[in-house]
Structure 1
């Protein structure tokens, strides 16, 4: 891995402050599932031999009911997304407690759709198509490679192994055309359940590349998670040792006082997610329409109007947090992550 350019951050002057109004919670109890039936396997997908996965983010309210369940990502099969959401919305929990009082709690789960008697590998035809697309990419025949990718995606049969190979070759295509956002999306999809069916050498490459991309976009919490996944891949000790200094740099940057700028764009689902590295943040350089901002934490959920030039500070007692921003597809903005500040600098707080 080359060090050059990995941590070149363009920092704009920051003109606002954030505040902390920390409420220390003396006793916490996480919610416990009462009923979590698995999703039904869609008949049409089962008949076609399709497999896949769906990552769902949801909230358990004070009554233990699941609310605001949304698809974070999936292997791309609409039927699986529909059944995953339908199942999660029926789940029941004992609500989480703070000082004996029920509170909202946010969860993230992956649901896998795998057939018991499905083949584990890829067909010869599929492998031939993958090799052909790879050769087109090597020869810089990008338009033809894109056409072949689209044709491959329309195949009626799609198991988890093929899912992993497809998103890996799609990630290589996105790399060739310089689309960082889509490259991250494709390589993250490789790391779903299908990653367990790819050869270790391919998985190591994908995780290393994903780590570099996430760092380049200041997605530091995601990058550290990718590094942890790499540590689970056999025979990765040399690569892990090479990456370790960069991991230390990430932690130093997160702990520093410099603001971290994350470029964002509302997707076709009308929202954008980010896993926070710090407890303070602000929206800036908004182009388009943003509606609401949700702070979804391990032990709290809050919703605000998504506006720029207002700083938020999350109390440490809320635990690990993500932000979900809803708006018009294609709207762009920057999320600026900030360090906590003293009470004397208070301007706004959660």
Structure 2
């Protein structure tokens, strides 16, 4: 019997429907665990991958995307391979089968019997890197951090500490985008492998970066996690969360400055149902809106306001275009009378 264990944490989108519509979530019929990559099993290496996918009207899984992972490609490939085999009872809208287009699963690769402790070698190297960061010897710190990543044995506990440490180095270097990515991996999408104090401090910094990068829906969700863990919320954090909610509820147009990644992609959860694209639109090829009950791929031909019907539920927007280009996204409260378009 193999001592490997791969397990799944599934987060289904919560519907946000009009009173006249009844949307029922898809239900899992067959959701087997992935095959553990042999190389990683032999190396005693653990990890995880977060996948978004569409459940089609016949209950099959189509178009899976890797949203994030521990950065090990073999885990990503194994996760993508198995999720395509999953079967569901399809979602229904008013009794009729519909696509469920905003489903996410976190697939964790863990080895049975491993404990939540770090090896002595990991600890020694970790302390050495902390000393380099404290001494502002950032080049040495980065070199040793890269060496730490190459350790053959690697469990989920060490992985969380690695990304936590990397976030500190990224922040010291002034690279806040990398800090943001590292912190998301440190908290492991609610994996909670860090001790309580470090986990909470990571969430608090993550909240500030959610706000900085104008990921408003994510910021409010991070704030709810902080509230669940702490009896004493920092007044500034509470005030910021209240301000975000007030702005989203207002009649103001909110501007977001985004940058496509090295693959020419970017995605986030829409905090409003209407949006437009301003400067940088020429850098985009298309976008895809994946919502609870529908999805739409749109070729971008001109500036207009797009409106997402409430019956579609919550939506994640995926943009594709020229790598590294900046784009202005406008969250508008009401559609224009002349140039609005329903998805």
TM-score calculated relative to the size of structure 1 = 0.87
Q: Please, which of 233, 240, 253 is the counterpart of residue 246 of structure 1?
A: 240
SS in structure 2 at match of 1:114: strand
Matched, 1:103 2:112: no
Q: How far apart, in 1, do the equivalents of 2:233 and 2:62 lie?
A: 41
Q: What is residue 8 of structure 1 aligned with on the other side?
A: none
Q: What is residue 19 of structure 1 aligned with on the other side?
A: none
Alignment of 1:67-106 (within 5 A): 67-106=62-101
* Kept after mapping to 2: 8 A contact 1:279/1:316: yes
Alignment of 1:17-96 (within 5 A): 25-96=20-91
Q: What is residue 348 of structure 1 aligned with on the other side?
A: 341
Q: How far apart, in 1, do the equivalents of 2:19 and 2:324 lie?
A: 39
Task: Kindly state the Cα deviation for residue 72 of structure 1 after the two structures are TM-superposed.
Answer: 0.2
Q: Please, which of 191, 198, 205 is the counterpart of residue 194 of structure 2?
A: 198
Q: How far apart, in 1, do the equivalents of 2:54 and 2:333 lie?
A: 26
Shift in alpha-carbon separation, 1:269–1:119, aligned structure 2, 3 A: farther
* Kept after mapping to 2: 8 A contact 1:195/1:203: no
Shift in alpha-carbon separation, 1:310–1:257, aligned structure 2, 3 A: same
Q: What is residue 259 of structure 1 aligned with on the other side?
A: 253
Over the aligned positions, Cα root-mean-square deviation in angstroms equals 2.2
* Kept after mapping to 2: 8 A contact 1:298/1:321: yes
Q: How far apart, in 2, do the equivalents of 1:63 and 1:269 lie?
A: 31
Matched, 1:323 2:310: no
Task: Kindly state the Cα deviation for residue 83 of structure 1 after the two structures are TM-superposed.
Answer: 0.6
Q: What is residue 273 of structure 1 aligned with on the other side?
A: 267
Shift in alpha-carbon separation, 1:193–1:156, aligned structure 2, 3 A: farther
* Kept after mapping to 1: 8 A contact 2:167/2:180: yes
Shift in alpha-carbon separation, 1:194–1:167, aligned structure 2, 3 A: farther
Q: What is residue 223 of structure 2 aligned with on the other side?
A: 227
SS in structure 1 at match of 2:232: helix
Task: Kindly state the Cα deviation for residue 170 of structure 1 after the two structures are TM-superposed.
Answer: 0.8
Task: Kindly state the Cα deviation for residue 60 of structure 1 after the two structures are TM-superposed.
Answer: 1.2
Q: How far apart, in 2, do the equivalents of 1:213 and 1:191 lie?
A: 14
Kindly provide the CA deviation profile for residues 96-148 of structure 1, in whole angstroms up to 9, marking residues without a partner as x. Answer: 22233222112111111111111321112211222222222222212221111
Structure 1 gap ranges (5+): 1-21
* Kept after mapping to 1: 8 A contact 2:257/2:329: yes
SS in structure 2 at match of 1:209: helix
TM-score calculated relative to the size of structure 2 = 0.88
Kindly provide the CA deviation profile for residues 14-53 of structure 1, in whole angstroms up to 9, marking residues without a partner as x. Answer: xxxxxxxx98753322222221111111111111111111
Which structure has the higher relative contact order (CA within 8 Å, separation 6+)? 1
Task: Kindly state the Cα deviation for residue 308 of structure 1 after the two structures are TM-superposed.
Answer: 5.7
Deviates more, 1:162-171 or 1:242-251: 242-251
Q: How far apart, in 2, do the equivalents of 1:145 and 1:288 lie?
A: 40
Structure 2 gap ranges (5+): 1-16
Question: Number of residues paired by the alignment?
Answer: 326
Task: Kindly state the Cα deviation for residue 187 of structure 1 after the two structures are TM-superposed.
Answer: 0.4
Alignment of 1:80-159 (within 5 A): 80-106=75-101, 107-159=103-155
SS in structure 2 at match of 1:59: strand
Q: What is residue 165 of structure 1 aligned with on the other side?
A: 161
Task: Kindly state the Cα deviation for residue 269 of structure 1 after the two structures are TM-superposed.
Answer: 4.2
* Kept after mapping to 1: 8 A contact 2:64/2:84: yes
* Kept after mapping to 1: 8 A contact 2:278/2:303: yes
Q: How far apart, in 2, do the equivalents of 1:26 and 1:205 lie?
A: 41
Q: How far apart, in 1, do the equivalents of 2:45 and 2:147 lie?
A: 16
* Kept after mapping to 2: 8 A contact 1:282/1:308: no
Task: Kindly state the Cα deviation for residue 181 of structure 1 after the two structures are TM-superposed.
Answer: 1.5
Alignment of 1:280-319 (within 5 A): 280-286=274-280, 289-307=283-301, 309-319=303-313
Q: How far apart, in 2, do the equivalents of 1:287 and 1:319 lie?
A: 26
Q: How far apart, in 1, do the equivalents of 2:136 and 2:109 lie?
A: 35
Task: Kindly state the Cα deviation for residue 287 of structure 1 after the two structures are TM-superposed.
Answer: 7.5
